[in-house]
Amino acid sequence: MSESTESAACAAGEFDLIVIGGGSGGLAGAFRAAEHGARVALLEPSALGGTCVNVGCVPKKAMWLAAEVGRMIGMAETLGFQGAPGRLDWPTFIAHRERYIHNIHQSYRRRLDAAGIVHMPSRARLLARAAAGGGTVECDNGLRLQAPRILIATGGHALRPDIPGAPLGAVSDDFFHWTAAPQRVAIVGGGYIAVELAGVLQQLGSHVEMLVRGERLLHGFDASIAGQLAEDYCQAGVRLHLDCPVAALERTGEGRLRVRDAAGGEHGPYDQVLFATGRAPNTAGLGLDAVGVDIDDGGHIRVDAGHATSAPGIHAVGDVTAGIALTPVAIAAARRLMSHLFGGAADPSLDQTDVPTVVFSHPPLGTVGLTEVQARERHGDAAVHVYRTGFRPMLEALVDGPQRSLFKLVCVGEERRVVGLHLLGEAADEILQGFAVALKKGITLQDLHDTVAIHPTSAEEIVLLR
């Protein structure tokens, strides 16, 4: 670098806040800080919106919707519709999906401009800490920026298991580049992503096998709800291999893939093997050591309840921390923090209890609050009252299909306070949000009974539970 370019590069840009990462948490933080009048720089080397918009929630939900339309089309003929269309043409659908995502990018760009946020299309590295807080951040091109506040929101990336042949397998990022359903596919894992992508692919015409290390799907979710989902998946044609840790991946003579499990069993051949085996935080090359930001054993940035790191003036939110790895959590945490730092709000912390979440399986699975097991551990067996209903939703009954819904309510104490709601079935994804508000407000079973049902819906089953 010549002397003159070096001095230009060292002319430090002064901001009130530097945001590292333009995903869910970073963008939400930048916008909220700017609303409060802060001068903000946002560094994002890739597409705006991060994981959620580009290789997560948004394209995943688009594929889920396509699969749901496919399911309806499958039912149409049985119901008497004639000339129902056939299989999905992926390239056509992908064009719609990517247009939708492109519109989100454009909307972010317009909003960044309108808010006066400086967007640097660059990776960031923390260079030095300032005594008064925050510090200096360096861009790819050597440009240095300074601010008394820095927000790290660099998210995470998919992990492959450490086994021979692992690079032969795909991860969820790769899935979003596929242009057709692989004929035969193995999905390794039993968590959110494994369950969601298995459902989509089976519905769109693949033969799906799930290779699950544990003894059940969706560890940590209510066991009976996860059990019913496993049954629904088997009915839909998914082959479930439980207690099946994978040991190696190899290519066959015909260029397909075979999986060896830890017990020596062989699975396949498959056209694709997709690892959905968890994610790790993006902290490599970030310069955390240089500024004294501590990480935990899993590599996540350590933060306190107010999202402060061990370095003064440096904060972190979202998947780079060990909190709940969901988009609305990253957004809410970033907004609360910025309202505290720049808007005078007293409390920067986010209440992360009773966060509702949906697994976009087929049918969808929604959950909020305690599972039955958690409630028994916390409140004792005698205090816990469980109400459940299993039923066939109307459309499923009309086509005489096998898919069943299962709703489960967990209450505690004499007053039957609602502490958990677990829904598997049609529209669970849309039903849950309102009930999550009610649960957060501390409603009782009697409050549900005092509410008149909406008939005929799946949702009414919740207020009718006895």
Ligand X SMILES: NC(=O)c1ccc[n+]([C@@H]2O[C@H](COP(=O)([O-])OP(=O)(O)OC[C@H]3O[C@@H](n4cnc5c(N)ncnc54)[C@H](O)[C@@H]3O)[C@@H](O)[C@H]2O)c1
| Smallest separation (angstroms) from ligand FAD to the CB of 262 | 26
Q: Is 425 annotated as a binding residue?
A: no
Binding mask 60-79 for ligand FAD (x = CB under 6 A): x-------------------
Q: Is 194 annotated as a binding residue?
A: yes
Residue 137 or 325 having the CB closest to ligand X: 325
Binding window for ligand X (CB under 6 A); candidates: 76-84, 131-139, 211-219, 333-341: 211-219
Q: Residue 277 corresponds to which amino acid?
A: T
> What does 287 interact with, of ligand FAD, ligand X, none (CB < 5 to 8 A by kind)?
none
Q: Residue 124 corresponds to which amino acid?
A: A
Active site residue 455: yes
Q: Among 25, 313, 356, 393, which residue interacts with ligand FAD (rule: CB under 6 A)?
A: 25
Residues 6+ apart with CB under 8 A from 463: 448, 449, 451, 452, 453
> What does 277 interact with, of ligand FAD, ligand X, none (CB < 5 to 8 A by kind)?
ligand X
Does position 319 interact with ligand FAD (CB under 6 A)? The reply is: yes
Does position 57 interact with ligand FAD (CB under 6 A)? The reply is: yes
Binding window for ligand FAD (CB under 6 A); candidates: 40-48, 222-230, 390-398, 426-434: 40-48
Residue 240 or 325 having the CB closest to ligand FAD: 325
Residue 406 β-bridge partners: 390, 424
Q: How far is CA 4 from CA 12, 14, 104, 271, in A?
A: 14, 20, 39, 55
| Smallest separation (angstroms) from ligand FAD to the CB of 159 | 11
Residue 150 or 370 having the CB closest to ligand FAD: 150
> What does 191 interact with, of ligand X, ligand FAD, none (CB < 5 to 8 A by kind)?
ligand X
Q: Is 189 annotated as a binding residue?
A: yes
Binding window for ligand X (CB under 6 A); candidates: 67-75, 186-194, 260-268, 451-459: 186-194
Site for ligand FAD in 337-396 (CB under 6 A): 360
Cα–Cα distance, 250 to 234 (Å, whole number): 26
Element holding 280 (H helix, E strand): strand 279-281
Kindly report each contact of residues 287-296 with a partner whose C-beta sits within 8 Å and lies 24 or more positions away, as own/partner. Answer: 287/125, 287/126, 287/127, 287/138, 288/126, 290/126, 290/127, 290/128, 290/129, 291/126, 291/127, 291/128, 291/129, 291/135, 292/129, 293/126, 293/152, 296/322
CB-based closest residue to ligand X: 191
Element holding 78 (H helix, E strand): helix 57-79
Find the catalytic residue in 102, 207, 219, 455. 455
Site for ligand X in 220-279 (CB under 6 A): 245-246, 276-279
Residues 6+ apart with CB under 8 A from 49: 22, 23, 24, 27, 58, 101, 104, 105, 108
What are the φ and ψ backbone dihedral angles of 71, each rounded to 5 degrees? Answer: -65, -45
Q: How does strand 417-424 pair with strand 365-369?
A: antiparallel
Cα–Cα distance, 160 to 246 (Å, whole number): 11
Which token pair is 41? Answer: 């720089």
Site for ligand X in 336-395 (CB under 6 A): 357-360
Site for ligand X in 311-340 (CB under 6 A): 325-326
Binding window for ligand X (CB under 6 A); candidates: 134-142, 184-192, 285-293, 332-340: 184-192
Site for ligand FAD in 269-308 (CB under 6 A): 282, 286
Does position 422 interact with ligand FAD (CB under 6 A)? The reply is: no
Cα–Cα distance, 279 to 22 (Å, whole number): 18
Does position 197 interact with ligand X (CB under 6 A)? The reply is: no
Binding mask 115-154 for ligand FAD (x = CB under 6 A): --------xx----------------------------xx
Cα–Cα distance, 446 to 33 (Å, whole number): 42
Cα–Cα distance, 369 to 251 (Å, whole number): 44
Residue 7 or 352 having the CB closest to ligand X: 352
Angle at the Cα of 44 (from 39 to 45), degrees rounded to 5?
Answer: 145
Q: Residue 443 corresponds to which amino acid?
A: I
Q: Is 190 annotated as a binding residue?
A: yes
What are the φ and ψ backbone dihedral angles of 138, each rounded to 5 degrees? Answer: -110, 135
Element holding 391 (H helix, E strand): strand 384-391
Binding mask 87-116 for ligand X (x = CB under 6 A): ------------------------------
Q: Residue 148 corresponds to which amino acid?
A: P
> What does 274 interact with, of ligand X, ligand FAD, none (CB < 5 to 8 A by kind)?
none
Does position 188 interact with ligand X (CB under 6 A)? The reply is: yes
SS3 429: helix
Does position 38 interact with ligand X (CB under 6 A)? The reply is: no
Could you tell me if 372 and 385 are in contact, meaning their C-beta atoms sit under 8 angstroms apart?
no
Contacts with ligand X, residue ranges (CB under 6 A): 161, 188-194, 196, 213-214, 219, 245-246, 276-279, 325-326, 357-360
Tell me the catalytic residues.
455
Contacts with ligand FAD, residue ranges (CB under 6 A): 20-26, 43-46, 50-52, 56-57, 60, 123-124, 153-155, 172, 193, 282, 286, 318-320, 325-328, 330, 360
Please give the annotated binding residues for NAD(+), written as ranges. 189-196, 278
